[in-house]
Amino acid sequence: MSVTVLIGAQWGDEGKGKIIDVLAPEADVVARYQGGNNAGHTVIVEGKKVVLHLIPSGVHSQKTLNVIGNGVVMNPVGLCTEIDKLASQDIEIISRLEISSRCHLVFSYHQALDAAFEAARGADAVGTTKKGIGPTYADKVARCGLRGADLCHPARLEAKFRTNCGKANTVLASLGAPLLDVDAEWGATKTACTRLAPLVTDTVLTLNRAIKAGKNIMLEGAQGVWLDIDYGTYPYVTSSNTGVGGAVTGTGIAPQHIKTVIGVAKAYTTRVGGGPFPTELCCDMGEKIRKIGNEFGSTTGRPRRTGWFDAVATSYAVMLNGITELVVTKMDVLDGLDEVKICTAYELDGNRVDYMPADAEDLARVKPVYESMPGWKNPTKGARSFGELPLEARNYLNRVAELCGAPVKTVSVGPDRAETFRV
């Protein structure tokens, strides 16, 4: 038996979906534990591209049960759209999907509030995906949210929906945003709710019974460590705990069951939306990495900001989450460069620091201290083992491991599942 947690060790979009998909055949259960359909995981198998937002990444393995855990916020309409999209790609998921009775539900009024709040922030916008995730977590904490269990009680569900949608209209009016037609919104929602009700279970029991039965369980994080509501670059963060703590509270699996924590990091760094980003490259090199790496959001299509690998941020992420091994993705994107750089420390107000300042305003002021290494002229793309990588690429990965304090156990050199190998 083993429980493995897989998290993004940077600002999200590290290629977690692909890595989970590679590891999923070994897993009997893949569970999501936080976030909602603001996440976008791209999985490519045999040339077929599948973008997952809410459904865990165990989709291609017929024996894998996929669980939407209690820490997730689930949009019923969004989930039904995703199920249908997969069906159109000949992937049947309903018989292998369970939804937590405790997960909170995202509705159209949350999306309307998300957009209105973001507009009201003006220049201080957080850069949310406007999927209603923040307002749904706010309802959860305010103890007025709807949960998976409500899907199984249609009359109760409708009454709560109408009350909350009405309350949302009061807030929307105060922000000068367009009001919602409650009847129309409920009409557009109820079919999805009815359809998903049979999938609702107590997933805490499902997961803990699976542990008792000696099954392999993979807990799949969305976004990344530096978008965590507590530890990320607040307020430019997501509304949930993206790290290993979120995996515990978002599934109901006790910490002692977790044997492996895999941190996925790109060979460089990206970030979407606002917020401090010490190693950002606002120059031709940044543009080059964006182009070669196809760094555009899989949920929103927004261009991602790009920069060099930040070992200060990633080593902190290793410490914070007890990361036992690293996966480095997108090595191929750096193929052919004369030199590659790694940020090994920051300078903050003239002082050298080797940790991430907790205050986003301090982090915005730091200057990265770089170590330069020779790039690799021969491509990593095509390599199928560590030994097949160019020497400079091997040196780079060894240095990343040394600086971050965790071994690099898996390397990815292309988007396809086959372009991945263990070290």
Q: Minimum distance from CB of 199 to ligand GDP (Å)?
A: 23
Q: Minimum CB separation from ligand GDP for residue 299, in Å?
A: 8
Candidates 177, 97, 170; CA nearest to 130 is: 177
Query: Cα(359)–Cα(354) distance, rounded to whole angstroms?
Result: 15
> Could you tell me which residues are beta bridge partners of residue 217?
3, 29
Minimum gap (Å) between residue 9 Cβ and ligand GDP: 10
Q: Which is nearer to ligand GDP, 369 or 379 (CB)?
A: 379
84 in active site: no
Name the minimum Å distance from CB 398 to ligand GDP: 18
Which token pair is 88? 């159109």
Which CB atom, from 82 or from 185, has the smaller least distance to ligand GDP? 82
Residue 313 CA, distance from chain mean position: 17
Asked whether the beta carbons of 269 and 283 are under 8 A apart, the reply is: no
> Which lies closer to ligand GDP via its Cβ, residue 40 or residue 390?
40
Helix (H, G, I), strand (E, B) or coil at 169: helix
Angle subtended by helix axes 311-321 and 391-404, to nearest 10: 50
Q: Which long-range contacts (CB under 8 A, 24 or more apart) does 355-358 make?
A: 355/312, 355/316, 356/226, 356/312, 356/313, 356/316
Nearest of 219, 237, 217, 235 to residue 227 by alpha carbon: 237
DSSP, residue by residue, 340-359:
EEEEEEEEETTEEE-S--SS
| Active-site hit among 13, 28, 114, 150 | 13
The CA-CA-CA angle for residues 287, 228, 29, to 5°, reads: 100
Choice between 44 and 193, CB closer to ligand GDP: 44
Residue 7 vs 196, nearer CB to ligand GDP:
7
**Per annotation, catalytic residue among 41, 53, 104, 110:** 41
Q: Any catalytic annotation for residue 13?
A: yes
Residues that bind ligand GDP in the complex, under the rule CB under 6 A: 8, 12-18, 40-42, 44, 298, 329-330, 332-333, 412-415
Q: Which is nearer to ligand GDP, 163 or 294 (CB)?
A: 294
| Whether 141 contacts 251, CB under 8 Å | no
CB of 39 to ligand GDP, least distance (A): 6
CA distance 243 to 33: 10
| Shortest Å, Cβ 59 to ligand GDP | 13
Q: Do the beta carbons of residue 24 and residue 48 sit within 8 Å?
A: no
* Catalytic annotation, residues: 13, 41
